[in-house]
Chains A and B, each alone.
Chain A
Amino acid sequence: MSVEALPATAAAASEETREYHFRSNRGARMRGYLGLVLIVIWGLAPFYWMVVTAFRQVGYTFDTTPWPSHVTLDNFRTALSTDLGNHLGRALVNSLVIGVFTTALAMVVGVFAAYGLSRLDFPGKYAVLGVILGASMFPGVALVSPLFQLFSSLGWLNGWNYQALIIPNISFALPLTVYTLTAFFSEMPWELEESARMDGCTPAQAFRRIMLPLAAPGLFTTAILAFISSWNEYLLSQQFSTNKTTPVTVAIANFTGAQPHQEPYTAVMAAGTIVTVPLIIMVLLFQRAIVSGLTAGGVKG
């Protein structure tokens, strides 16, 4: 082998190696995309079927055509109509009221608790986090009977008593809020707060003017998660809601059809579609904040 031939051979080998890596990378990338497509199909298939059934005529409820067929808007009219005793519109307002109050209260309490847990160093700090985790593990169904007795004796199970739904919801939203925000706050650079203190801020001012604005993505994410958990809550709402405070989950479960003992599947699917829309809009609006907030707590600083 001549001396001139060596670089050419090396270049050819390098080209082959690059081509091999490119192919194997492309194969891995294709497999990755295929996996992602499967996950998306798996996740969206029930939602897609709900939407397709929502737009289908009642006579074709159990039609298995995988794309929209016999399209009609009657199911949405039925879902929003009050002729059959269904009050989806009022239930949407009720769910919104319950969700907003639950989220606001859980956030107010959770922000301070999480800030203290991540900032202060005291003995048993992780035991407190363990207690919070334990509280979130507590089965909701175990709370139904005692809370029913308590709220019944307080006279909260009639009229416009939203607190009978908001207070139990907070007990589930608060551990989620504290846990998520603790992880988020612990990743924040404390030098910023110390700089603010050096510049003359009180601890409260440093928290309000420096740390809170920086924690906005995490706060948004946590608030949305708390709102979604409250919006989707069914078990306790089924027991503690009244005719006036019924949230959407209970309202849809109680949907009645035109005939006795007839389950109005298409109207239920239409109501489900209507109920999902506010969540989708909210997630799309705050998409960037949600993604940055979700990743911020898990990235090593």
Chain B
Amino acid sequence: MRLFNPGGGTGTHPRARAQRLEMLMGILGFFAVMALVQTVILELRGDPAGFSAAVLAVLLLLLGLVVRARRNVRL
């Protein structure tokens, strides 16, 4: 794991690609959970939640694409 080593993590080796995609999954997953919590709270309070739901949908779509890309990487 070469987090601060530009030569180690940016190569085209499948393992490096898998690591990058997993990190992206983590980042997108974190913000998706935040958006989910906000959407649920807004819905429960009866406040307008359209924009929040749209952001959540975009994040989930991106997350799905990244998960699929990660599955396609063969180590």
On chain A, the residues within 8 Å of B27 by CB distance are 130-131, 133-134, 137
The distance in angstroms between the C-alpha atoms of A120 and B75, with both chains bound, is 18
The distance in angstroms between the C-alpha atoms of A179 and B29, with both chains bound, is 18
On chain A, the residues within 8 Å of B20 by CB distance are 126
The distance in angstroms between the C-alpha atoms of A126 and B75, with both chains bound, is 15
B44 within 8 A of partner (CB): no
Establish whether residues A182 and B3, one from each chain, have CB atoms under 8 Å apart when the complex forms: yes
A128 within 8 A of partner (CB): yes
How many chain B residues touch A (CB < 8 A): the figure is 21
List CB contacts (< 8 Å) of A171-206 with chain B: 179, 182-183, 186
Which 6 pairs between the two chains have the least Cβ-Cβ distance?
A: A130-B26, A134-B30, A126-B22, A130-B23, A127-B26, A134-B27
B55 within 8 A of partner (CB): no
The distance in angstroms between the C-alpha atoms of A299 and B18, with both chains bound, is 22
The distance in angstroms between the C-alpha atoms of A234 and B8, with both chains bound, is 36
The digit string for B28-54, where 1 denotes a CB below 8 A from any CB of A, is: 111100100000000000000000000
Q: Which of B7, B26, B34 contacts A126 (CB 8 A)?
A: B26
B21 smallest CB distance to A (angstroms): 8
B27 smallest CB distance to A (angstroms): 4
Establish whether residues A125 and B22, one from each chain, have CB atoms under 8 Å apart when the complex forms: yes
Residues of A in contact with B, size category: 20 to 34
**A residues at B contact (CB < 8 Å):** 118, 124-135, 137-138, 179, 182-183, 186, 297-300
Contact A186 B26, CB 8 Å, known A126-B19, A134-B31, A300-B7 = no
On chain A, the residues within 8 Å of B74 by CB distance are none
The distance in angstroms between the C-alpha atoms of A42 and B49, with both chains bound, is 47
Chain A residue with Cβ nearest B23:
A130
Most chain A C-beta atoms within 10 Å of own C-beta, residue among B18, B20, B31? B31
Establish whether residues A297 and B8, one from each chain, have CB atoms under 8 Å apart when the complex forms: no
Contact A300 B25, CB 8 Å, known A126-B19, A130-B30, A135-B30 = no
- Return 16 A-B CB contacts under 8 Å, by A number: A126-B22, A126-B23, A127-B26, A128-B26, A130-B29, A131-B29, A132-B26, A134-B31, A137-B27, A182-B3, A183-B4, A186-B3, A299-B5, A300-B2, A300-B5, A300-B8
The distance in angstroms between the C-alpha atoms of A193 and B7, with both chains bound, is 27
Chain B residue with Cβ nearest A127:
B26
On chain A, the residues within 8 Å of B30 by CB distance are 130-131, 134-135, 138
A255 smallest CB distance to B (angstroms): 37
A55 smallest CB distance to B (angstroms): 40
The distance in angstroms between the C-alpha atoms of A134 and B24, with both chains bound, is 9
